[in-house]
Amino acid sequence: MAQHNEAPIRVGLLGAGTVGSQTARLLVEQRDELSQRIGRDIELVGVACLDPDEVDFPWIDRSLLTSDTMAVATNADIVVELIGGLEPARTFVLAAIESGASVVTANKALLAKYGPEIYQAAEAKGVDIYFEAAVGGAIPIVRPLRESLVGDKVTSMLGIVNGTTNYILDEMTTKGLDFDVALKDAQAKGYAEADPTGDIEGHDAANKAAIMATLGFHTNIGIDDVTVEGITKVTADDIAAATAEHKVVKLLAVVENGEAGVSARVYPALIDENHPLASVHGSFNAVFVKAEAADDLMFYGRGAGGAPTASAVVGDVVTVARHIAQGCTGPAITLYNDLPKAPIEASKAAFAVRFVIHDKPGVLAAIAEEFAKRGVSINGVNQDLKPTLHEPGYSGELQQLRLVTHLTDEVTLRETVEAVCRLDFVTGEPSILRVL
């Protein structure tokens, strides 16, 4: 039962964009019910934004709007940071903690870069830092890693954690679109930003991979420790080849704690159409977690969008408010492990490599020889005739030659591909995709 004789728990909101406005709506419209769940009244006391005159939502009292972000950050019991980016978000979050406020954020870039600094600051000040919405939108994945699985040993995580790239690849698969066309469609429908670089180059997913690895393995994995490959090189031909083999292309975040150390990677990969990840469409996300005792776990749901993400944010606000009402804090994020970073050559996978070649005798044998020289075993070969424009000085047809390898490391594979590309009958840009 809410204790109305106590002062309300004050919430300051930094940012009134897509997620911020929906967070404000939930806090205002559900205030009475949230207060009952908390055991004490809760109140939105300030909303910081760049231009208060441009914010016009019926559920936000205009008297709460201000451009003085620091004032909101240092005059609340709970500060919700939804500005995004590194600075000034880092400055405001640290100032909020120093003022004695607990912090809720959805800022994956901030945590991937400065997470340990912020976690330590919160622990030293005796306040909470919660960030469920930073990974997977509405999907509860952060809390299970922080709390539910702390009695187990997480060994790996694999998932689709970026809705924009998932939508683009879906459109390429279902409609046969080229990448550029699918991207423009995603922008027109609001699934992709005007500047989509962070999504399509894999940086957004990489930030989330860093957070997942840090929480899952209790060691500091920053954004600079994540190797990243986006989807800009995925072509309609890649999608068509995958479809012919009953596979789909997905951008995956993969984190592992193996014998060689911890690895965190983002890359497009081929997965079988019967794999659960193959049915993850649009803005939906899914994460598989493997733990020694729990074995396989799957988390699935809306990974983006104002309201779904706000749901996770407000869930964190309620959790933190309960702690304040009870005079306690949640568990600290202790990065007690100092695990080595696995070298890139430690990870092995099967690869699908597609070359464009001049159609003449001896090509396959010469390419196979380059693979054999470097100990890369070929599992299968598919040569699809695909006539294209003739190159200057060349009068024959061009063909696509696609090879699938057995397990090999990426360094050796890329050295092999570079050697093949130096052969005089190979032209254009090769395609390299991992096979899950």
Look up the pTM and report it.
0.92
Name the band, by pLDDT with cuts 50, 70 and 90, for residue 1.
very low
pLDDT given for residue 2 in this prediction: 47
DSSP letter at 314 equals H
- Give the whole-angstrom CA distance, residue 244 versus residue 76: 57
pLDDT tens for 256-304 read: 999 999 999 999 999 999 999 999 998 899 999 999 999 999 999 988 8
DSSP letter at 375 equals T
- Give the whole-angstrom CA distance, residue 199 versus residue 8: 39
Paired with 42 in beta bridges are 9
What does the block give as tokens for 87?
């600075």
pLDDT tens for 22-63 read: 999 999 999 999 999 999 999 999 999 999 999 999 999 999
For 96, left (φ over 0), alpha (ψ -120 to 50), or beta? alpha
- Give the whole-angstrom CA distance, residue 319 versus residue 297: 24
pLDDT given for residue 252 in this prediction: 98
Please compute the mean of the pLDDT values over residues 358-387 and round it to a whole number.
87
Does residue 386 surpass a pLDDT of 80?
A: no
Question: Is residue 79 within 8 Å of 316, Cβ to Cβ?
Answer: no
Neighbours of 54 (CB within 10 A): 9
Nearest alpha carbon to residue 213 among 285, 286, 262, 268: 262
pLDDT tens for 117-128 read: 999 999 999 999
Query: What domains does the chain contain, in order, with CATH numbers?
Result: 9-137+306-326 (3.40.50.720), 142-302 (3.30.360.10), 344-435 (3.30.70.260)
What does the block give as tokens for 90?
């880092």
What does the block give as tokens for 278?
């193959």
Name the band, by pLDDT with cuts 50, 70 and 90, for residue 398.
confident
| 208: annotated active-site residue | yes
pLDDT given for residue 354 in this prediction: 93
Amino acid letter, residue 403: L
Vertex 120: Cα angle to 309 and 337 (nearest 5)? 95
pLDDT given for residue 407 in this prediction: 96
- Give the whole-angstrom CA distance, residue 246 versus residue 263: 29
Does residue 390 surpass a pLDDT of 80?
A: no
Residues 108, 113, 125, 208: which is the catalytic one? 208
pLDDT tens for 307-355 read: 999 999 999 999 999 999 999 999 999 999 999 999 988 889 999 999 9
Number of residues written out for the chain = 436
Q: What is the mean pLDDT of the chain?
A: 93
